[in-house]
């Protein structure tokens, strides 16, 4: 079971790029890395997922080094509405008996 470690919190300013790194040293071969965003009192929302190298969508980029023991979520030019908790999740839903474990989350505060 891949355990994840993230920074507890990060502050940023509007227009800046925010990079959040997640450590997952014992990631398994079939595990994917997924990031979610959560606003207070709402369910988490999917942001991006990757297996290796770099993945980019309209919201974020995900960088995964060759050893896959960590990953970095990059949020370009953040706005106040990006203030939220960001979770890193590592797992493989295909495997019966697989428990999906969220990291502790990183609280990102975007200041004006």
Partner 1 sequence: EAQVTQNPRYLITVTGKKLTVTCSQNMNHEYMSWYRQDPGLGLRQIYYSMNVEVTDKGDVPEGYKVSRKEKRNFPLILESPSPNQTSLYFCASTLSPGTGYNEQFFGPGTRLTVL
- 55 part of the interface to partner 1, by CB under 8 A: no
- Taking the CA atoms of 1, 54, 76 and 25 in sequence, report the sign of the dihedral they define: positive
- 71 part of the interface to partner 1, by CB under 8 A: no
Nearer to partner 1, 83 or 101 (CB): 101
- 101 part of the interface to partner 1, by CB under 8 A: yes
- 44 part of the interface to partner 1, by CB under 8 A: yes
- 37 part of the interface to partner 1, by CB under 8 A: no
Written as one string, the DSSP assignment of 59-107 is S-EEEE-TT-SEEEEEE-S--GGG-EEEEEEEE-TTSTTPPPEE---EE
Nearer to partner 1, 80 or 95 (CB): 95
Nearer to partner 1, 13 or 46 (CB): 46
- 46 part of the interface to partner 1, by CB under 8 A: yes
Distance CA 87, CA 19 (A): 13
Backbone angles phi, psi at 10, to 5 degrees: -150, 140
């Amino acid at each position: 079971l891949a355990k994840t470690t993230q920074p507890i919190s990060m502050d940023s300013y509007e227009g800046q790029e925010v990079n959040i790194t997640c450590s997952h040293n014992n990631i398994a071969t079939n595990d994917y890395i997924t990031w979610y965003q959560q606003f207070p009192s709402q369910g988490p929302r999917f942001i991006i997922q990757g297996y290796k190298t770099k993945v980019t969508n309209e919201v974020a980029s995900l960088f995964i080094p060759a050893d896959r023991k960590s990953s970095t979520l990059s949020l370009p030019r953040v706005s106040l509405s990006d203030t939220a908790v960001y979770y890193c999740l590592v797992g493989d839903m295909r495997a019966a008996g697989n428990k999906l474990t969220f990291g502790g989350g990183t609280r990102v505060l975007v200041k004006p």
